[in-house]
């Protein structure tokens, strides 16, 4: 069964679990970080929920010694995480623009027509597929959160409310569907059955088609101390080394890879059916060599992550304490999952943080899990003018700072904690 992952890191104890690697099935792990018992990061609370106990689960990160996949040790059932989801991709203008650039690029490079089919796994509210649809290219969204899929359908995006896997892929293929492009943006990290989902890609992909996957990059996670991107929805943190092995095992070959600045640093991979004998571009070998030099398979390369997380936590706690002691009001921007991880690990609650603002109207009137900080519309920043605002969604910092120019002109300050404390 599992290797012994008992160790004390990040102030909490990792316990031995009957765990096998989600990618390769191996059972020998190296402990990386423990964030202790935390609530589900997207389980926003109503006011009536505040008087009831919140479920909390261990959030421990380990490295697979066999295939180098970094992963958490616990899988919370997906239907509990995603059945009623509050993340809507279209609330970020920058992310919609990012999706449009990618769609236009694929339309041109793959010569897509009205006879093609583009499928997105975890299609959210149609933020990406809408760009293909407007160009007259047939699309299909697969989205397990019914509340979000219905918004996509209202935009005219044909959507299946279901979790993607080999069974659904076989059913779709049996119905005559084959995808010329399959997108999976920031979803591969969310699925407990990695091999099943990648097998589904291979099953549904048309000959000559391409799978395009984006996922946060583990090197950036470690190098920049981005511990707040760890939460129960994110089961895995990928390197190209781990992805190449995972895809090859399901007869898919990664032919190209790009590093992106999105979400604190991401990979975008392009994979084709191995049986089509695709040509592998130089970007793949180059990045694999970089990872080998970096130490992607060396456990000691990951050992500073816990101390970096503790440093970031302490710097933020000290800043908030000093700000409050000076009579300055402190708020936060971004009721996202990474914000919940940061607030809970730092022990910051409604006693220290007056409120958090978010553009997503579906979150207004609710409260952050664990921290119990109320969530308000973004307009509250100007209405209440807190002196300091923690920028929890630092991955959209440029977009947010531009939008909040008036708040800053009036003397408000944004505070970014990752990778180091910075006042902007």
Q: Nearest to residue 107, comparing CAs of 124, 84, 130, 76?
A: 130
Residue 11 pLDDT > 80, yes or no?
no
Which domains, and CATH codes, for the chain?
7-72 (no CATH), 89-302 (3.40.50.150), 316-423 (3.40.50.720)
Is the separation of the CB atoms in 90 and 96 below 8 Å? yes
Average pLDDT, the chain: 92
pLDDT at residue 191 in the model: 87
Residue 76 pLDDT > 70, yes or no?
yes
**C-alpha angle 413/417/420, rounded to 5°?**
115
Please give the C-alpha separations between residue 176 and each of 147, 289, 384, in angstroms, as whole numbers. Answer: 28, 41, 56
Say which range, 2-6, 292-296, 347-351, has the weakest mean pLDDT. Answer: 2-6
Residue 82 pLDDT > 80, yes or no?
no
Question: What residues contact 382, with CB distance under 8 A and at least 6 apart?
Answer: 406, 407, 410
d(CA 165, CA 35): 30
**Who wins on pLDDT, 77 or 110?**
110
pLDDT at residue 197 in the model: 97
Is the separation of the CB atoms in 7 and 60 below 8 Å? no
Evaluate the omega torsion of the peptide bond into residue 234 and state whether it is cis, within 30 degrees of 0: no
pLDDT at residue 12 in the model: 37
pLDDT bin (cut points 50, 70, 90) of residue 8 is very low
pLDDT at residue 9 in the model: 35
Say which range, 3-7, 122-126, 196-200, has the weakest mean pLDDT. Answer: 3-7
pLDDT at residue 145 in the model: 85
**pLDDT tens digits, one per residue of 212-223:** 999 999 999 999
**pLDDT tens digits, one per residue of 328-383:** 999 999 999 999 999 999 999 999 999 999 999 989 999 999 999 999 999 999 99
Residue 15 pLDDT > 50, yes or no?
no
pLDDT at residue 19 in the model: 80
pLDDT at residue 228 in the model: 96
Question: For the chain, how are helix, strand and coil distributed in percent, rounded to 5?
Answer: 40, 25, 40
Question: What residues contact 354, with CB distance under 8 A and at least 6 apart?
Answer: 329, 330, 331, 373, 384, 386
pLDDT bin (cut points 50, 70, 90) of residue 83 is low
Q: Nearest to residue 72, comparing CAs of 82, 87, 57, 85?
A: 57
**C-alpha angle 340/346/323, rounded to 5°?**
105
d(CA 42, CA 87): 8
């Amino acid at each position: 069964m599992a290797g012994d992952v008992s160790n004390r890191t990040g102030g909490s104890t990792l316990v031995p679990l009957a765990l096998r690697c989600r990618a390769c099935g191996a059972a020998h792990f190296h402990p990386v970080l423990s964030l202790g018992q935390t609530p589900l990061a997207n389980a926003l609370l109503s006011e009536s929920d505040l008087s009831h106990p919140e479920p909390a689960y261990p959030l421990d990160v380990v490295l697979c010694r066999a295939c180098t996949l970094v992963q958490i040790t616990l899988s919370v059932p997906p239907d509990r995480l995603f059945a009623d989801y509050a993340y809507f991709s279209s609330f970020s203008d920058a992310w919609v623009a990012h999706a449009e650039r990618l769609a236009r690029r694929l339309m041109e490079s793959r010569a897509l027509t009205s006879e093609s089919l583009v499928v997105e796994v975890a299609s959210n509210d149609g933020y990406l597929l809408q760009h293909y649809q407007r160009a007259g290219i047939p699309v299909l969204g697969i989205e397990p959160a019914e509340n979000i899929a219905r918004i996509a359908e209202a935009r005219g995006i044909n959507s299946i409310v279901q979790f993607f896997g080999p069974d659904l892929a076989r059913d779709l293929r049996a119905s005559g569907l084959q995808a010329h492009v399959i997108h999976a943006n920031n979803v591969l990290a969310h699925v407990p059955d990695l091999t099943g989902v990648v097998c589904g890609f291979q099953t549904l992909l048309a000959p000559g088609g391409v799978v395009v996957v984006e996922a946060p990059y583990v090197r950036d996670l470690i190098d920049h101390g981005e511990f707040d991107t760890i939460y129960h929805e994110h089961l895995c943190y990928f390197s190209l080394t781990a992805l190449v092995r995972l895809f090859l095992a399901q007869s898919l070959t990664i032919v190209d890879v790009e590093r992106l600045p999105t979400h604190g640093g991401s990979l975008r991979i392009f994979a084709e059916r191995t049986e089509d004998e695709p040509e592998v571009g130089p970007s793949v070998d180059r990045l694999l060599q970089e990872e080998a030099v970096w130490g992607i398979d060396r456990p000691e390369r990951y050992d500073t992550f816990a101390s970096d997380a503790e440093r970031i936590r302490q710097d933020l706690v000290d800043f908030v304490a000093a700000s409050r002691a000076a009579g300055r009001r402190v708020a936060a921007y971004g009721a996202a999952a990474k914000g919940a991880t940061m607030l809970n690990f730092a022990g910051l609650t409604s006693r220290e943080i007056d409120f958090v603002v978010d553009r997503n109207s579906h979150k207004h009137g609710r409260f952050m899990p664990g921290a119990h900080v109320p969530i308000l519309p973004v307009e509250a920043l100007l209405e209440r003018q807190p002196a300091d605002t923690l920028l929890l969604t630092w991955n959209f910092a440029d977009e947010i700072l531009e939008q909040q120019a008036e708040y800053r002109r009036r003397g408000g300050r944004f505070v970014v904690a990752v990778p180091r404390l910075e006042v902007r």
